[in-house]
Structure 1
Amino acid sequence: MGLEMTPSQALGLWHSVTAEQVRGDARDLTLRQLAILLEVYLVPPPHTVRGLAATLNVAKPVVTRALDTLGQLGLVDRVRDEFDRRSVIVRRTVDGALYLEKLGDRVIANGRKLG
């Protein structure tokens, strides 16, 4: 990455990005929802509720609630695994990819302001 930051600068960047995100997008994701969304989009699939819960070290119902919201917002989609009907596969959507692309653009723009 090459960009060296102090903890204060890193928090300042996080603050400016999150404040801009709140002002610029009506979808107000929790930190848990954002962590799940990033996991689904940045880590190669497949993703399951069970796998996401294990990765984030939270209970499956916590992931399910977050996915309910992300699904309602059109940021992810869920389908039953055709090979294991007990398992739910979490899939990416175009809207989710666009949401994270804009968020990434905000991080870059705000990072440039730092130096």
Structure 2
Amino acid sequence: MPVELTPSQALGLWHAVSLEQVRVDSRDLTLRQMAILLQIYLVPPPHTVRGLAASLGVTKPVITRALDTMGALGLVDRIRDERDRRNVIIKRTVEGALYLEKFGDLIINQGRKM
């Protein structure tokens, strides 16, 4: 059963989660990077730079910059599509899955404290 939160409570939860994430993980993803990462992991693949840009309403360079950062952190991989070399396919990684699992646990734990 979903928990009903007031806007103030929702912001308080977001604040608590953000603070705890800063404390426990040195990887400092922007909100945009986190949105892209969640799109990659929560929406069934395949994912391409072009497709992510369209679904999130941003430009391909925005996606590319975010993927550069997340790739360097080991959260995603990119490979060329063998059928269409113009496309870049974004792949999930074990490290990215673990990162988001821990982030989900953090949200649950902070929500329980409210």
Which interval holds the TM-score relative to the shorter structure?
A: over 0.9
Tell me the CA shift for residue 113 of structure 1: 1.0
Runs of 4+ in structure 1 off by over 6 angstroms are none
Equivalent residue, structure 2, for 1:35: 35
What amino acid maps onto 1:39 in structure 2?
A: Q
1:1-37 per-position Cα deviation (integer Å, ceiling 9, x unaligned): 5100000000000000011001110100000100000
What amino acid maps onto 2:72 in structure 1?
A: Q
Q: TM-score, with normalisation over the residues of structure 2?
A: 0.98
Alignment of 1:1-115 (within 5 A): 1-114=1-114
1:61-101 per-position Cα deviation (integer Å, ceiling 9, x unaligned): 00000000000000000000111100000000000000000
Q: How far apart are the structure 1 equivalents of 2:64 and 2:87?
A: 12
Structure 2 residues not aligned, in runs of 5+: none
What amino acid maps onto 1:70 in structure 2?
A: M
- 3-state DSSP of counterpart to 1:90: strand
Q: TM-score, with normalisation over the residues of structure 1?
A: 0.97
What amino acid maps onto 2:78 in structure 1?
A: R
Q: How far apart are the structure 2 equivalents of 1:22 and 1:54?
A: 30
Identity percentage over the alignment? 75
Q: How far apart are the structure 1 equivalents of 2:55 and 2:8?
A: 28
User: Please, what is the CA RMSD of the aligned residues?
Assistant: 0.6
Q: How far apart are the structure 1 equivalents of 2:39 and 2:18?
A: 18
Q: How far apart are the structure 1 equivalents of 2:28 and 2:17?
A: 13
- 3-state DSSP of counterpart to 1:79: strand
Q: How far apart are the structure 1 equivalents of 2:75 and 2:38?
A: 11
Count of aligned pairs between the two proteins: 114
